[in-house]
Amino acid sequence: MMEQARHKRVADIFKLGGNVYAFDSTTIPLCLSVFWWAKFRRKKGGVKAHVLYDLETQVPAYYHITTASVHDSKVMQEIPYETGAYYVFDRGYNSFKELYRIQRMESFFVVRTKLNLQYKCVKWKRRMPKNVLTDAEISLTIYKSHMDYPENLRLVRYYDAEQNREFLFLTNAKHLTAIQVAELYKNRWQIELFFKWLKQHLKIKKFWGTTENAVRIQISAAITAYCLVAIIQHDMQLQRSTYEVLQILSISLTDKTPLKNLFDKTYSNDVKEQLDPFIPGLFD
């Protein structure tokens, strides 16, 4: 289903010659006394949904379910990497061994690095565009880090005027401009919206079964529903957000009106007014 949705919504927004993905995880808390197999902390339980999200088609390309105790970087080895693709990571994925694996596959990555990164500058640019504070080629100085990633990396320090914050990125994409590197990371917010959408609107906080398999099935069903909505949105060429499409469908489950007429006669304001707690969600 994910492949079908991505194929229908194929796009080349970034024009980089390869697919652009964001990889991140979201934690779904569970009651430890009921979901005993999902132990997270002493008195807490939970699972993590690790998702590889296609930023151009805005559809998940891959997902992996683990208990919440598994560190994010440990799941990087499960990603089905593609040659020539771009992968965007947050700070929790500073695993140089796995990043070097991406380099060996002739793919590219952009990862927000930690502030205590130990390195030495090999070469740097003197003239830089606005808001780019540093654009340099570096070598890692910590022995283990250097052994895991023996080649030089590119370091970009960027100032975001809107948030009044500085961001430090590591990448092996030396052919991109510093602004492009920052823009790739900036688009990572789409996967955060997907997680919010998944949890709030598909109601996966409430589970029908208590076994590990039941939880996996319900998360899979939620992602399948998302893909179906994405396909409908594309096929009908709807000028609405995926959120609006889902809300219209959820409040019209017993309506026999053809879909085209349903979306034509339903306005955004009507949808917002009908977001009532008594309207059942998909997984209530």
- The predicted pLDDT at position 138 comes to 95
- The predicted pLDDT at position 267 comes to 58
pLDDT of residue 6 exceeding 70: yes
- CA angle at residue 188 from 183 to 191, to 5 degrees? 155
Is residue 235 in some structural domain? no
- What CATH number corresponds to the domain at position 89? 3.90.350.10
What global pTM score does this model have?
A: 0.86
- The predicted pLDDT at position 249 comes to 81
CB 54 within 8 A of CB 60: yes
Query: What pLDDT digit, counting tens, does each position of 15-47 carry?
Result: 998 999 999 999 988 888 888 898 888 888 889
Is residue 261 in some structural domain? no
Is residue 209 in some structural domain? no
Count how many domains the chain has. Answer: 1
Percentage of the chain with pLDDT > 90? 55
pLDDT of residue 277 exceeding 50: no
Is residue 135 in some structural domain? yes
Is residue 107 in some structural domain? yes
- The predicted pLDDT at position 204 comes to 66
Which domain range does residue 70 map to?
Answer: 2-192
Q: Compute φ and ψ for 267, nearest 5 degrees.
A: -105, 160
Is residue 260 in some structural domain? no
Is residue 8 in some structural domain? yes
pLDDT of residue 272 exceeding 70: no
Q: Compute φ and ψ for 182, nearest 5 degrees.
A: -65, -40
Query: What pLDDT digit, counting tens, does each position of 44-92 carry?
Result: 888 999 999 999 999 999 999 999 999 999 999 999 999 999 999 999 9
Q: Which of 100-104, 198-202, 227-231 has the highest mean pLDDT?
A: 100-104
- The predicted pLDDT at position 203 comes to 64
CB-CB neighbours of 276 under 10 Å: 7
CB 196 within 8 A of CB 276: no
Tokens representing residue 105 in the block: 């596959």
Looking at the DSSP bridge assignments, the partners of residue 86 are 20, 108
Query: What pLDDT digit, counting tens, does each position of 143-177 carry?
Result: 999 999 999 999 999 999 988 999 999 999 999 99
With b meaning 16 or more CB within 10 Å and e meaning fewer, what string describes 225-241? bbbbbbbbbeeeebebe
- The predicted pLDDT at position 105 comes to 94
Is residue 119 in some structural domain? yes
Model confidence at 201, pLDDT cuts 50, 70, 90, reads: low
Average pLDDT taken over every residue of the chain: 87
